[in-house]
Amino acid sequence: MSSTGSRSSDTLSALVRANGWLMRVLAAVRDASVPDAWVGAGVLRDLVWGGRFGAGFDATLVRDVDVPFFDPSDLTRANDDRVTARLGERLPEVPWEAKNQAAVHTWYPAKFGGGPVEPLRSIRDAVGTWPETATAVVVRLNADDGIEICAPLGLDDLLDGVWRRNPRRVSVEASRARLDRHRPHERWPRVTVVPP
């Protein structure tokens, strides 16, 4: 898992830019003026792996579009709901799921179990805790329509089709459950799964 290199960044940027649906999603997020908002996780994995290791990307099969944002001024779940609704007004056909990463420590233990979680310091810090290395990637569109990438664990696993547990927060048991639920070999036959 190397750091994000320019060749890898260029490859991901080209894949994102070539998908009109995702570009509209990114523009909607940017134009909604949500604090430090990005798009990532499963939708990027589905885009890359569908095109490279599966039967293609189909936006109608996207279960949710994760929009992590960072707003330490409002740690309520209502903030997540407001941002999700605001995005839904822009593109109602998109299954938005906005989550304030500054507030994760207030709800994570109750939802997923385990002990207390330290407050996250930034989007980069938050993304670095996500369950698999290949989904610990977010992108956004800047004011000049350039694509910015945040991939604290690198882009190798995403671009090379490797399903690997990120040990920073997810237990082996939770990782196995995710593997059973997502069934990557069925969706993307040429993906390599590193057992947790």
Please, what are the domains in the chain? 6-193 (3.30.460.10)
For residue range 61-102, what is the model confidence (pLDDT) as tens digits? 999 999 999 999 999 999 999 999 999 999 999 999 999 999
Residue 10 identity: D
Q: CA distances (Å), 22 to each of 16, 108, 140, in order? A: 7, 28, 10
Using the 8-state DSSP alphabet, how is residue 147 labeled?
E
* Of 154, 136, 150, the residue nearest 3 (C-alpha): 154
**Structural tokens at position 154:** 């690198």
Q: Sorting pLDDT into bands at 50, 70 and 90, what band is 2?
A: very low
pTM over 0.85: yes
For residue range 28-41, what is the model confidence (pLDDT) as tens digits? 999 999 999 999 99
Q: Is residue 145 helix, strand or coil?
A: coil
